[in-house]
Amino acid sequence: ERDAATDARTSLSDVKNRLEYIRQGNILHLILQNTHTIDDLDSVIRQFEMQGVLEMSDILGGRMKRNIMRCMQNETVRKWFSPGWRLYNECNILEYDKKEGRYTEHRPDRVMTDGKETIVVDFKLHSLKDEYFAQVRNYISLLRRLGFPDVKGFIWLVLANKIVEVS
C-alpha cells in the first residue's frame, strides 16, 4: 500500500511539474509575441500583471522577467527586438497538401523582415528536440516559397539564453 501511495504522489507531482512547465511556456510565448521592441517589454509585462496572467509576486513571474531581461542583453536577441523590422508574430501560414487534399496551418513564433533578410525564430524554454529543427526548417521553406528574401531560422532557448541556427 505504501508503494502505491508513494507512486500516486510521485505521479501527481509529475503532473503538477508538467503543468507548471506548460504554464511557463505559455506565459513566455505571450510576453514575447507581444513585445515588438525591447522598449515594449516592461509595458507588456505590466499589462499581463494587470490582467492577472502574470503575478510578479509569484516566483515564476519574477524569475520570468529576470530571465527575459537577461536574454535581451544578447546581441542577437537585441537585434531581433530592435526597431526597423516588419514583424509577423504567431502569423498563420497556410500550405496546401496535395496528397491529403487539405490545407495545413503553420504558426511560427516570430517572423521578421527588413526587406533584405528574413528571420524566423521559434521560442522554446530550455531543451532541444529533433522535431523543433524539422519545424523551423519547414518554416524556412514555406517563407522562401512565399518570396521572402534571405530566410534564416533559429531556435531560441529562452531560459537557457541559447540561440541555435537551423540550416
pLDDT tens digits, one per residue of 81-140: 999 999 987 688 888 888 889 988 888 999 999 999 999 999 988 789 999 999 999 999
- How many CB atoms neighbour CB 148 within 10 A? 18
pTM of this structure: 0.80
The mean predicted confidence, pLDDT, of the chain is 84
Helix (H, G, I), strand (E, B) or coil at 63: helix
More confident call, 48 vs 142:
142
Residue that has been written with the C-alpha cell 501527481 in this structure: 12
Nearby residues of 71 by Cβ (< 8 Å), 6 or more positions away: 77, 156, 158, 161
pLDDT in tens, 147-165: 999 999 999 998 888 999 9
Burial per residue of 109-146, b for 16 or more beta-carbon CB atoms within 10 angstroms, e otherwise: bbbbbeeeebbbbbbbeeeeeeebbebbebbbebbeee
